[in-house]
Amino acid sequence: MKINLQLCADIGCLECRISDFNTHNNIIKYKMAFELTDSNFKEKVMDQGGVVVVDFWAEWCGPCRMIGPHIEEMAKEYDGKALIAKVNVDNNPEISYKYGVRSIPTVLYLKNGEVVDKQVGATSKKVLSDKLDAILS
């Protein structure tokens, strides 16, 4: 049984749907930022290569909540071009320590496993996207 998180364009509701039982006509998939953890980081980032944007955040962090929607929008816009991911620093201290994350939000841009750019603190979506576009070009 496959479960998809989808946004119903008809009624604007976020629903967990069983793939073979869709009842609405206008279901569109909603791409969200990938949740990285200490246990899946190596497999999803280091072993696969490519371009990855990692947002280090925490639920209690006000500036993190400011850029959170930007990260989610980028996950949708850059689907297939780059992996847009999030790391909750409270639940995943190993990754945070490995990359020296001391302030949040911190957004790291990795290419083939190497940090190529960094943004610390809240910023606009344009700044985040411009950095990613420069890496992808």
pLDDT, tens digit (0-9, with 9 covering 90-100), for 40-89:
998 888 888 899 999 999 999 999 999 999 999 999 999 999 999 999 99
pLDDT at 29 over 70: no
The active-site residue, picked from 8, 13, 16, 61, is: 61
Domains of the chain, by residue range, sit at 1-30, 34-136
pLDDT, tens digit (0-9, with 9 covering 90-100), for 81-112:
999 999 999 999 999 999 999 999 999 999 99
Assign a CATH topology to domain 34-136: Glutaredoxin (3.40.30)
The active-site residue, picked from 8, 13, 16, 64, is: 64
Could you give phi then psi for residue 96, rounded to 5 degrees? -60, -45
Annotation says 64 is catalytic = yes
Annotation says 16 is catalytic = no
